[in-house]
A and B are shown apart, each in its own frame.
Chain A
Amino acid sequence: MTKSQVSLRGRDILELQGMSVPEMELILDTAREMKNVIDRDIKKVPTLRGKSVVNLFFEPSTRTRTSFELAGKYLGADVVNITTSASSVVKGESLRDTLLTVEAMGVDVIVMRHEAEGSSHYAAKVVKPVIVNAGDGQHEHPTQGLLDMFSIKEKKGSIAGLKVAIIGDILHSRVARSNIWALLKLGAEVRVAGPRTLLPRDMDRMGVQVYDRVEPALEGADVVNILRIQKERQQKGLFPTAREYARLFGINRARLDLAKPDALVLHPGPMNRGLEIAPDVAYSDQSVIQEQVKNGLAIRMAILFLVLMGGTNVETSA
C-alpha cells in the first residue's frame, strides 16, 4: 500500500493498534499542513463547511474537548459539545440510545470520550457516523498518540531507530498504549518504566522493554514521555506516598541527564509538577509540552478533514 492509495474517508479512528503505517503517515503529513493554518492570522477555512461534529464526552476533559472543538471550527464545521459525566448505566439511558439520538440529528462525526474500554468500538458497530475515539477508559487515546508522533517527528526528523522511554502509570494509561503501538509500528525502540504495581502483567509481549526502575529506561533515550500520575492510585494502595513516588520515579534534572543531551521531554498534561515531573524539567529547553498542545490541534484537524473529505489533495486554502 503506498501513501497515495490511502484514504481515511469514512474510517472510524478507534485505536492505533489497528492503524497502518501509511495511514499514520498520511495523518502526520496532513497535520503539518494544518499547523500552517493554525499559524495564520485568520484561521478559519471553509473546508468542512456544512459538516457537523459532535463531541460526545462521558468524562470531563477540557483539553481534549476544546482541541477537537477548535479543530472542527477552524475547518468550518459545526461543532456541538455534549458532556455528561455520569456513566450511561447510572443515568439509566443506554449508550446505544444516546448514540442513536445523536445519529438521528444527522451528525457526520462523533468524537467520543468514555470511561469504558472498547466503548468506541461499540459505538462504531451501533451507528453510522464516523467515530473518533477521544479516549476509551484505559485502552487507547489515538489522537494523543498521533500528536506525540508528530511532536517527535518534528524535532527528530524521523521516528525509526529512536529510543523512547515511557515513564509512569502504564497500567491505567490509554496514552501509553496508543504511543506504544504507534512507536513500534514506526520503528522506535520502546521502553516502559514505573512502579511494578503500575505496570500491566505480561506487557513485554507487546514488544516493549519493561523496567521497574526509571534509570535503565532513561539511559541513552532520545525521547522521554512522562505520564500523568493520578493521585487516586495512591489511595488504592498502588504506591505508598506521593513523596516516595516523586523520589523514586519522578523525572528530575539528574535523572533526565541519563538520557541523551538532546532528548525530548513529552507529557500529555495536565502535569503534577513536583510529582511525576520536576519544574526544571517541565520548562527546560528539551520540553515540548506546550508545542504538543498546538500539535494536538493540528492532528485533530487532520483527522476530521481526512475522515470527512478523503485522503488526497489536501486543500486548505480559503
Chain B
Amino acid sequence: MLKLVLKGGRIIDPAQKIDKVGDVLIEDGVIAKVGGDIDAAGAEVFDARGLVVAPGFIDMHAHLREPGQEAKEDFASGTRAAAAGGFTTVCTMPNTRPAVDDAVLVNGLIRRAELERLVNVKIIGAVTKGQEGKELAEVGDMLQAGAVALSDDGRHVANAKILRTGFEYAGMFGGLIISHAEEASLVEDGFMHEGAVSAMLGLKGRPAVAEDIAVGRDVMLAEYTGGRLHVAHVSTAGAVELIRRAKARGVKVTAEATPHHLTLTDEAVIGYDPATKVNPPLRSQEHVDALVAGLKDGTVDCIATDHAPHAFEEKDVEFRYAPSGFTGLETAVGVVLTGLYHSGKLTLPEVIEKLAAAPARVLGLEAGSLKAGAAADVTVLDPAAEWTVDSAKFYTRGKCTPFEGKRLKGRAVATIVGGRFVMKDGEVCG
C-alpha cells in the first residue's frame, strides 16, 4: 500500500470547514485521514510545517489550445504549467481550431488528456456549432460524452433566441452554460477599457456597459428558462451588481473573476505593453473594488485564470495588433495571495474556497475537498514565500504576462494529483 503523510501543516478545507494544524494521510491515491498526529511508519513523509495543506486547486477557465494551436500550448505543456502553479484540475475552453463542438472531439480530447496529462483535464464544449452563434451544437451528446460545461468563450452568444434554446436544451442534461458576456456592437475595434486612461492613450475603448448589457440579458434568459448560467471573467461593477441581484431572486447564476481583473487596473496599459492586453480589458479602480467586494460576499463564486498562452511573435507587435490574453496558471496563486490575502481583503480559507471548493461546486465535480475517500488532489502553499515572476522559468509555452518581474508573496510549493507529487519545491515532477 502506497502511503504518504503530509506532516504538521495548517490544513484548510473550506468544504468541511476545517482549519487546524495536523497531518494528512494519503493511501493509494485517496485521502485516508485528515488531522491529528498520524503514525508515519512505512510512509513517505512530506514536512508541511509552516505550510498550508489545501484541497487541490481547480481552474475552470483555461485555454490549453488543443486541438489546432499546439504552437501556443498543448495538454503536456499546459498541465505542467498547471502543476507548477498549484492546480490539480484544469478545464480547457473550446475556442480551438476547430472549435470543440461535438462529442467525437470531446471524446478525443478526454483520451488525449489521459495520455498527456500531469493534472486532471476537463473538457468544455461549445454552445453553438463552430462557436459561430448560429446553430446549437450537439450539447446533449457532448455533455453525455463527459464535457463539464458549455461555452462559446471568446465570443458572446449574440442571438438571444439561440441562447434561450441553449439554456432550455442543455437544461435537460443539467448543462451549465458559461458566457463570455460582451455586447459586440459596443466593443468593436476597442483595445482596452474605455475611460480616462484610454482617453489619454488614444486607444479605442471597450466600455464597461457592454459587459453589463450582456450579463443583464444572459441573466434574464437564465431566469426565464430556468437554465444554469456561469458568467466568465466578470470585470465590471455593473455586472457584479446584476449577478448579486439575480442571485437574491434565486436565479441559477454563478460567476468567476480572474487574478488580473482582481488586482490590476487599466493604468497597467500605460506604456502600451501588449502583455496588458486582455479581453475583457483591465478596468479602472472602481471596477476592481466592486469585483473584490463581490468575491468577498459570494456574488463572484470563484477565481479562474483565463490562462491564454500565445506565441512570442504574436504578442511582440504593436499593441493594437496583439492578440488578447496572457498566461495565468503559474502566476495565479502568487497574485491572489499577494493581492487579496496579504492585503487583508480575503482570509486564507476564503482564498482556498475560491480556488478549490467553489469551482468544484459550480461544475459539479467530485473534487475541491479533503474528505476521506476523495481522490488525493492536494495543493500545498507557502503563503510567506517571496518570489519574482520570471517567464523564462515558466512551463507554459506562453511567456507573456503583465506580472513579469513583479515581486509576489506566496506560492504553491507542492501539487499532488491522485496521491502522487506532480510538483515539489517549484519543480514539476514526471
CA distance A114 to B319 in the complex (A): 12
Chain A nearest CB, measured from B175 CB (Å): 38
Interface size on A, residues (CB 8 A): 27
Kindly identify which residue among A118, A177, A200, A203 contacts B318, using a CB–CB cutoff of 8 Å. A118
Q: Are B201 and A202 in contact (CB under 8 A)?
A: no
Q: Which of A95, A139, A202 has the most CB of B within 10 A?
A: A202
CA distance A136 to B44 in the complex (A): 61
B199 at the interface (CB under 8 A from A): yes
Q: Which residues of A contact B194 (CB under 8 A)?
A: 201
B317 at the interface (CB under 8 A from A): yes
Q: Write out, one digit per residue, whether chain B residues 207-218 have a CB within 8 A of any chain A CB (1) or not (0).
A: 100000000000
A316 at the interface (CB under 8 A from B): no
Q: Which residues of B contact A121 (CB under 8 A)?
A: 271-272
A94 at the interface (CB under 8 A from B): yes
Q: Which residues of A contact B200 (CB under 8 A)?
A: 17, 177, 206
B426 at the interface (CB under 8 A from A): no
Known: A201-B195, A206-B196. A117 touches B317 (CB 8 A): no
Q: Which residue of A lies closest to B207 (CB)?
A: A201
A174 at the interface (CB under 8 A from B): yes
CA distance A206 to B203 in the complex (A): 15
Q: Which residues of B contact A94 (CB under 8 A)?
A: 313, 316-317
Known: A89-B321, A205-B196. A96 touches B271 (CB 8 A): no
A151 at the interface (CB under 8 A from B): no
Chain A nearest CB, measured from B305 CB (Å): 26
Q: Are A114 and B318 in contact (CB under 8 A)?
A: yes
Within 8 A of A (CB), among B160-212: 191, 194-196, 198-205, 207
CA distance A237 to B264 in the complex (A): 34
Q: Which residue of B lies closest to A87 (CB)?
A: B321
Q: Are A117 and B203 in contact (CB under 8 A)?
A: yes
Q: Are B318 and A138 in contact (CB under 8 A)?
A: no
Chain A nearest CB, measured from B189 CB (Å): 10
Q: Which residues of B contact A118 (CB under 8 A)?
A: 201, 203, 271-272, 318-319
Within 8 A of A (CB), among B272-325: 272, 313, 316-321
Q: Are A201 and B320 in contact (CB under 8 A)?
A: no
CA distance A139 to B199 in the complex (A): 9
Chain B nearest CB, measured from A193 CB (Å): 15
Kindly identify which residue among B196, B202, B271 contacts A137, using a CB–CB cutoff of 8 Å. B202
Q: Are B203 and A88 in contact (CB under 8 A)?
A: no
Q: Which residues of B contact A206 (CB under 8 A)?
A: 196, 199-200
CA distance A206 to B195 in the complex (A): 11
CA distance A97 to B191 in the complex (A): 24
CA distance A88 to B318 in the complex (A): 9
Kindly identify which residue among A95, A138, A202 contacts B196, using a CB–CB cutoff of 8 Å. A202
Q: Are A202 and B321 in contact (CB under 8 A)?
A: no
Q: Are B318 and A122 in contact (CB under 8 A)?
A: yes
CA distance A136 to B202 in the complex (A): 9
A55 at the interface (CB under 8 A from B): no
CA distance A85 to B320 in the complex (A): 17
Kindly identify which residue among A119, A122, A203 contacts B199, using a CB–CB cutoff of 8 Å. A203
CA distance A138 to B205 in the complex (A): 12
Q: Write out, one digit per residue, whether chain B residues 71-106 have a CB within 8 A of any chain A CB (1) or not (0).
A: 000000000000000000000000000000000000
Q: Which of B194, B207, B313, B318 has the most CB of A within 10 A?
A: B318
Known: A89-B317, A94-B317, A95-B318. A201 touches B202 (CB 8 A): no
CA distance A138 to B271 in the complex (A): 14
Chain A nearest CB, measured from B412 CB (Å): 32
Q: Are B201 and A117 in contact (CB under 8 A)?
A: yes
Kindly identify which residue among A116, A200, A202, A205 contacts B320, using a CB–CB cutoff of 8 Å. A116
A140 at the interface (CB under 8 A from B): yes
Q: Which residues of A contact B320 (CB under 8 A)?
A: 116-117, 137
Chain A nearest CB, measured from B142 CB (Å): 35
Q: Which residues of A contact B313 (CB under 8 A)?
A: 94
CA distance A136 to B272 in the complex (A): 12
Q: Which residues of A contact B198 (CB under 8 A)?
A: 200-201
Chain B nearest CB, measured from A139 CB (Å): 4
Given A94-B313, A94-B316, 11 more pairs with CB closer than 8 A: A96-B316, A117-B201, A117-B320, A119-B318, A121-B272, A139-B203, A177-B200, A200-B198, A200-B205, A203-B196, A203-B199
Q: Considering the complex of A and B, which 10 residue pairs feature the smallest CB-CB distances, nearest first?
A: A118-B272, A138-B202, A200-B199, A116-B318, A139-B202, A205-B196, A202-B196, A203-B199, A116-B320, A119-B318
Can you spell out 5 A-B residue pairs with CB atoms less than 8 angstroms apart? A118-B272, A122-B272, A122-B318, A139-B201, A139-B202
Q: Chain B: residues with CB nearer than 8 A to chain A?
A: 191, 194-196, 198-205, 207, 271-272, 313, 316-321
